[in-house]
Amino acid sequence: MNLTTKTLDLSQFDYALPEHLIAQKPTDVRDESRLLILDRAEKAIEHRSFADLATLLKPSDVLVVNDSKVIPARLRGKKCSSEGAVEILLLEAVAQNLWWVMLKPGKRVSPGTTVQIIGPDNSAAPIQFEVKEKNPEGHYLVSFNGIENILDALDTFGEVPLPPYIEPAKNRSFDDINRYQTIYARHQGSVAAPTAGLHFSEGLLQHLEQSGISIVKVILHVGLGTFTPVKTNPISEHQMHKESFELSREAAKSLAAAKAQGRRIIAVGTTTVRVLETVTTTSNGIIQPQRGKTNIFIYPPYEFKIVDALITNFHLPKSSLLMLVSAFASPKQMNGIEMIHQTYAAAIKENYRFFSYGDAMFIQWGSRHARRFPESQSSRTSLHPP
């Protein structure tokens, strides 16, 4: 594939997905989801169960997870002037009770508008907000009053901000509040789940730790910017939204020691990749504690500085996440784009489930890193040379 960064446009990251493969609910048990393994070195794929991860990894591996917690970021209200219904999605806190939000419908909302928050039973909550300003992206800066911290009210008045491709249903047979959340989520601040982590069960994590695999935690509070479709051509002109991240002193020390010892750093999710690559980019490759905001945009060709393997979900067409995965499939080269196209085509053929509640894939370099399965348990396919 004769491509350069300047020629990369959205058409290279588009694909057709049958609608029935968009997962509307998670598997009954977290680690019962499927796992597609992409071997970058051998350009081959295998089909497994996510629970097989305990056998695929080895004791020296370091698993890095994002323990940001999804907040019930969707609120409902009505304009105090007209009682017109308004749906609110919290995006980013500027200060306590001062937030950037999305409003729907927003066309008739202007600075100075006051909105009353409505509870689940349609009664008025003791909380209002005033619209302060609107930015060019169509987001609104609002100031909440009637409560010391709006975050304290979300468990009562907020709803899980499920992605728009998950159809609302009155009688869902599971609890989105728990399932659209990783089991290790601790630090509230995300408005979308770091979905690769949704596949881990308590039992699987315990098995991994008992096998000697280290688990390191970082934080990246996921905003809608991560999932905003790329619309620019060439893609290099796309600007990512800034998202808050943190790498603790303990995590930095563990990762630095692992790299010095030649151990594999395995990122769980693209958000974790963005934290790790941000801290090594801003510190000239030295892993040290950091806290700040990142808008790193990773697309082919990209030289990864710290991440050796990646666990991730199947991503939307034309998304920055798909571009990151394409870069990771073949670091420093452009042929990862075609490799991911072929891999996704194979996943579609095998009826993998896509997007947030869908199945997962594990991208690694060479099967020599993993404990081998008996061939009778393996379904291995070679990709066509890109």
- 247-298 pLDDT, tens digit each: 999 999 999 999 999 999 999 999 999 999 999 977 777 899 999 999 999 9
Mean local confidence (pLDDT), 108-118: 93
Nearest to 131 by CA among 140, 123, 139, 122: 140
Q: With 80 as the cut, is the pLDDT of residue 11 above it?
A: yes
Report CA torsion sign: 40, 41, 46, 50: negative
pLDDT of amino acid 386: 58
Directed axis angle between helix 320-329 and helix 270-282, to 10°?
Answer: 70
CA 174, CA 155: separation in Å to the nearest integer? 18
Residue 115 · residue 131 · CB < 8 Å? yes
pLDDT in tens, 22-56: 999 999 999 999 999 999 988 899 999 999 999 99
Beta 243-247 vs 187-190: how paired, if at all? unpaired
Which residues have C-beta within 8 Å of that of residue 114, sequence separation ≥ 6? Answer: 79, 80, 81, 128, 129, 130, 131
pLDDT band at 3 (very low <50, low <70, confident <90, very high): low
Nearest to 247 by CA among 238, 258, 256: 256
The residues facing 44 across adjacent strands are 39, 382
Q: With 70 as the cut, is the pLDDT of residue 124 above it?
A: yes
CA 305, CA 73: separation in Å to the nearest integer? 34
Please report the domains of the chain, with CATH numbers, ordered by start residue.
5-70+176-382 (3.40.1780.10), 74-157 (2.40.10.240)
